Structure 1
């Protein structure tokens, strides 16, 4: 399968991990802890958000999105600079060999979504597996 699909699966995995951590942080709201610990938790969430954004950008770049469009979505002014920032990652992911979706945890991601899905969420039963079926 294409590197673009693998990047989208990695983005889904990052979103899942971010959601799990955010839920855990909510669960610690009433804990007596230091300001340092609360700030560290918040910073960890921010780092995970940045990783998620990077995976989404990578997937879009690998799918052939225009760097001007990507730059605008990132609220950045210079597409050449953004392209340069992601050039190594795009090259590395483009060179990856074919992969097996089962080994990438596609089923696990769909199962996680089904367990956590709420009424207002998209109604897809297998949103990650559906990605594989449309390409």
Structure 2
């Protein structure tokens, strides 16, 4: 699993994958927290909760995709990924092999370390200002 291209921001491929993972965590968390208030329940359209749950599922699948890229960037083998997903290896390769090749060639975290640090500080008051980026390497 060579690192064919230099990742942006001078970060390693693994660090870029971790930022992409946090970006997906942020997207899911922000969406899910918006589903908690009940003050507008009386105005909910039929099927609205199902639609919201389906959107949450899509965000979770995006997070799963990013987690696979992170694991591969950290050196996991395809066998380990298949085992952790409880999927046959050929299914894992069919879903993720091209995605992985594209990621290695042109990693795109979708965010910056500063952006995720700022978000995390907002949602977790008292956290260190670099709580997310401190462990990137």
Q: TM-score range by the shorter chain?
A: 0.7 to 0.9
The residue that corresponds to 1:89 in the other structure is: 99
CA RMSD of aligned residues (A): 2.5
What does residue range 27-46 of structure 1 map to in structure 2 within 5 Å? 27-28=37-38, 30-32=40-42, 33-46=44-57
CA deviation digits over 1:18-61, x for unaligned, max 9?
Answer: 11111101124652212311111110001000000110111111
> What are the within-5 Å matches in structure 2 for residues 15-30 of structure 1?
15-28=25-38, 30=40
RCO higher in 1 or 2 (8 Å CA, sep ≥ 6)?
2
Secondary structure at the aligned position of 1:126 is classed as coil
Q: How many Å separate the matches in 2 of 1:29 and 1:57?
A: 37
Q: Please, what TM-score do these two structures have when normalized by structure 1?
A: 0.79
Q: How far apart in 2 are the matches of 1:51 and 1:29?
A: 29
CA contact (8 A) 1:71 1:79 kept: yes
**Structure 2 stretches lacking a partner, 5+ long:** 1-10
Scaled by the length of structure 2, what TM-score is found? 0.78
Q: Which runs of 5+ in 1 are unaligned?
A: none
Conserved? CA contact 1:67–1:80, under 8 Å: no
Offset at residue 124 of structure 1 (A): 5.5
| 2-structure distance, mates of 1:118, 1:74 | 33
